[in-house]
Amino acid sequence: MTPRRQQILSTAADLFAARGFHGVSMGDIGAAVGVSGPALYKHFASKDDILGQCLLHASDQLLAGARELLPDAEAAPGDALEALIARHADFALDNPALIVVQEREWGALGADTRAQVRKRQLAYVDVWCDALRPLRPDLSAAQARAAVQAAFGLLNSTPHSARIGRGAMHALLTSMAHAALLPWTVTRPGGPGPSR
Amino acid sequence: MTPRRQQILSTAADLFAARGFHGVSMGDIGAAVGVSGPALYKHFASKDDILGQCLLHASDQLLAGARELLPDAEAAPGDALEALIARHADFALDNPALIVVQEREWGALGADTRAQVRKRQLAYVDVWCDALRPLRPDLSAAQARAAVQAAFGLLNSTPHSARIGRGAMHALLTSMAHAALLPWTVTRPGGPGPSR
DNA sequence: TCCGCTGGTTAATGATCGTTAACCCCTGTG
DNA sequence: CACAGGGGTTAACGATCATTAACCAGCGGA
């Protein structure tokens, strides 16, 4: 993939995240990358194509990252979920625009592209559920999916706040997600807890 | 407020949540309430006015509901956060469209209305922080705000899943939010836990 | 040197949108 | 009965948008 394409996709994702797909014109995207309007058709077939490539790229990255983690965790199954949480937090902190666009604009996609993105998203949720369910046998399959989606909502809250540094945010989000999904495994640190 | 106005606001919120503010035309909103296009100007000054009233109404309801809870909780301060979580989960489950629009379209507002909505949202976060910080003295003010926003993200994940019934969803969300914000107070129920 | 391709440009086209204008019906009240 | 006003209609206007057309500069290979 040519660097121009990547630049356009990244810039468009930022604009879509800030103003919504229908709130951004081709002229806006072109101006943001230093060319003007119709030049974008040399790289993409249409505005919908730009959005589609954004979402396909984002869902691909998330799913591939999660699957990359799985072989390592077979020996210590309890750590798989931990790794998924940390990886997702990294992705959300590094690509807030992709996170926002992915959860906001999937309805603006054509049926075919939407199906492809949906497939990746469902597969991603499945990876999480496979990691969660052995640790939470009290949850039904549907409950596990809902819990995973809720954890995504927590981790994806990054774009709405981020007043503390990236490292602190990462630590906060991962610890909260861990507690939300595996509440009984939390150990109180040595420092002053809330009971005092 | 006349019932027609409320019908328009509610219908518009659903449409805005589904397709985004710029993805909905005045004709769409009119058709959804059974009138056509320009008739809406008998009730609202402009399309932006409709969005503004939606967001003002939503932020008002959330903030008023939270403040209504506070006096009752003065005797038992530890329960204030519990009540806020339960109330927010109720609101999110009952008004998914308002939740989506509120976190998605605030950027499309005019400066004046945006400031009003922002003020209510900040006050709402403050209510949560005031309830949380006595229970979590280990968190700085900024960390508490970020944690509260993350809890919102968790509770607001409702529109993205909701495959289990409302009661089960409410129980799941409140227990996860509790564990995420107050991890050390979680008690394992008598039933079969993950430790077998 | 000529040629074709890549990646630009500006102008034009047709559709859609927010908004206004002009008009109309109904209903309650003097 | 006259009539004012609330709530609706269709038609029209100007702006904006996605997309296409037509054209052009640079450049690597025959």
Q: What is the pLDDT of residue A74?
A: 62
Cβ within 7 Å of nucleic strand D, residues: A 24-28, 37-38, 41, 46-48; B 2, 4, 30, 35-39, 42-43
B69-79 pLDDT per residue, tens: 987 666 666 78
pLDDT higher than threshold 80 for residue A187: no
pLDDT digit string (tens) for A33-60? 999 999 999 999 999 999 999 999 999 9
Distance B52 CA to C27 C1' (A): 32
Instruction: Say what percent of chain A tops pLDDT 90.
Output: 84
How far is the C-alpha of A130 from the C-alpha of A114, rounded, in Å?
24
The mean of the pLDDT values for chain A is: 92
Dihedrals phi, psi of A58, to nearest 5 degrees: -65, -50
Residues of chain B with pLDDT under 70: 72-77, 187-196
pLDDT at position A155: 98
Q: How many CB atoms lie within 10 A of CB A21?
A: 24
DSSP string, B78-109: HHHHHHHHHHHHHHHHH-HHHHHHHHHSGGGS
Q: How confident is the model at residue A1 (pLDDT cuts 50, 70, 90)?
A: confident
Q: Is B84 helix (H, G, I), strand (E, B) or coil?
A: helix
Per-residue pLDDT, averaged over A8-24, amounts to 98
Percentage of residues in chain A having pLDDT higher than 70? 92
The verdict on a CB contact (< 8 Å) between B154 and A156 is: no
pLDDT of residue A61: 97
- Contacts with B, A 81-120, CB within 8 Å: 103-105, 107-108
Please write the tens of the pLDDT for every residue from B89-100. 999 999 999 999
Q: From B107, B89, B105, select the one nearest B177 (Cα to Cα).
A: B89
A22, B18: Cβ pair inside 8 Å? no
pLDDT in tens, A108-153: 999 999 999 999 999 999 999 999 999 999 999 999 999 999 999 9
pLDDT at residue A193 is higher than 70: no
Chain B residues inside the 8 Å CB shell of A195: 184
Instruction: State, as a whole number of angstroms, the distance between the CA of A37 and the C1' of C22.
Output: 39
Degrees, nearest 5: CA angle A171-A161-A59: 75
pLDDT digits (tens, 9 = 90+) for A79-90: 899 999 999 999
Is A125's Cβ below 8 Å from some Cβ in B?
no
- Tell me if B146 and A152 make a contact (CB, 8 A cut-off): no
pLDDT band for position A77 (50/70/90)?
low
The 3-class SS string of B26-61 reads HHHHHHHHCCCHHHHHHCCCCHHHHHHHHHHHHHHH
Mapping DSSP to helix (H, G, I), strand (E, B) and coil, where does residue A188 land?
coil
Residue to mutate among A184, A187, A188, A196, with most B CBs inside 10 A, is A184
